Amino acid sequence: MKMSLLALVLSLPLTALAQAPAAKPAPAAPAAAPAATPTPAETQATAVKALEKQAMAEKADIIAKNMGLNAEQAATFWPVYQKYQDGFSALFAQQLELISKYAASYEKLDDAGAVALMNGQLDRDTKVAAYRTTWFPEFQKVLPGKLATKFMQIDRRLSLLTQLAIASQVPVVQ
């Protein structure tokens, strides 16, 4: 598998998200009220959603290119995959919230904050493993065992790449 834009997109510094300039509103029609300028939090949320959407599209493309599904398999696989992927949005949001809290308190992080950070990371890892464990039988219902396993391997590898890209942007506790 080649490294793709997924790894590149997710390797962007997370601080860039926090510092993204506010989008300029489009000029309003003369009779319309002026558009409100988004808050920094809204701008960040929009940037995160855009990155997540792009990353998910890249991930699906990589999976499609590596699975070698026939038309019948693809017709049953992709709807299950979409439901599976939708569940990862909440886990991704949890991770970003944890990183945001860490970034906000990095300079003054105490022992309790460091332990809370690690517990949050371990909790997310546990949830991801449990999520995959729950979904693997669902993929076995629509794909032969080897193909279901191949999908989970590809998905896990892409996830590890993503996690490495994110982790490389987050400083170790000092």
Provide CB contacts within 8 A for 97, sequence distance 6+: none
One digit per residue, pLDDT tens: the chain, 174 residues? 333 333 333 433 333 333 333 333 444 555 555 567 888 777 877 877 787 788 888 999 999 999 999 999 999 999 999 999 998 888 888 888 888 888 888 888 899 988 998 898 899 899 999 999 999 999 999 999 999 999 999 999 999 998 888 888 888 888
154-to-10, 61, 173 alpha-carbon distances in Å: 17, 12, 31
pTM, two decimal places: 0.72
Q: Where are the domains of the chain?
A: 7-19+38-167
